[in-house]
């Protein structure tokens, strides 16, 4: 088992609250209300801004140029690729950039992103990447599971494009790289005594992800 699998096995309750959420099931069968998904998309754009800050913090926390460059590439990918893709996806659903730029953060967005940043500020690079892992790896695993469900990738499902994006080979590579990075960081700085602390970070981040889904459902009425 790699470190990610160990963390997930240790706090399976929190992980399942995230990946088996009602919001996720609604993505798979297309029953998720449009307003819920659109509310999630807007908040996810705001989340990406803080995600970029987390990678900027990771650059600072890097102990050598290899770690700094890896974090810098993640930062560039968010600022130069992901955010533009998100703007286009929102635009295709009738959500203009002005809405993204003027919508305030929901409490769930603030709670989740500031937890990640605070974890990174208080701890080291391993703490920070454990806090980020449920998001990065979780999306790949959620989408891969949804893609196997009947009709999930059919044009009739309004969320087929989301599932296809996160279940695709490109994002699978991102998730694999995140898992490998966790192992590399753990090889340098993890002790068995520290593992329980990392489990708590992982569990809290997973539960905050679940709260992020719930935020979308509540906003969608």
Q: Annotated active-site positions, please?
A: 135, 209
Check residue 104 and report its DSSP letter. P
Q: How far apart are CA 122 and CA 150, in angstroms?
A: 44
Residue 76 contacts by C-beta under 8 Å, 6 or more apart in sequence?
Answer: none
Q: What are 135's two structure tokens? A: 């998001």
Buried/exposed 183-201: b ≥16 CB within 10 Å, e otherwise: ebbbeeebeeeeeeebbeb
CA 216 to chain centre: 15
- Whether the Cβ atoms of residue 14 and residue 88 lie closer than 8 Å to each other: no
């Amino acid at each position: 088992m790699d470190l990610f699998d160990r963390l997930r096995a240790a706090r399976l309750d929190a992980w399942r609250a995230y990946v088996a959420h009602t919001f996720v099931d609604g993505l798979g069968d297309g029953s998720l209300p449009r307003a819920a998904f659109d509310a999630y998309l807007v908040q996810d754009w705001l989340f990406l801004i803080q995600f970029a800050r987390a990678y900027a913090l990771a650059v600072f926390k890097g102990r050598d140029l290899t770690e700094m460059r890896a974090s810098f590439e993640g930062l560039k990918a968010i600022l130069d690729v992901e955010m533009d893709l998100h703007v286009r996806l929102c635009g295709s659903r009738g959500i203009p950039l002005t809405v993204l730029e003027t919508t305030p953060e929901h409490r769930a967005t603030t709670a989740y992103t500031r937890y990640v940043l605070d974890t990174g500020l208080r701890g080291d690079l391993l703490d920070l990447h454990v806090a980020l892992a449920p998001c990065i790896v979780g999306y790949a695993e959620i989408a891969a599971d949804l893609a196997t469900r009947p009709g999930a990738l059919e044009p009739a499902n309004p969320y087929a494009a989301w599932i296809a994006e996160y279940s695709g080979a490109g994002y699978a590579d991102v998730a694999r790289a995140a898992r490998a990075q966790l192992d590399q960081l753990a090889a340098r700085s993890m002790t068995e005594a520290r593992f329980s602390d990392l489990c708590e970070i992982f569990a809290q981040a997973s539960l905050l992800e679940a709260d992020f889904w719930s935020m979308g459902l509540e906003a969608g009425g």
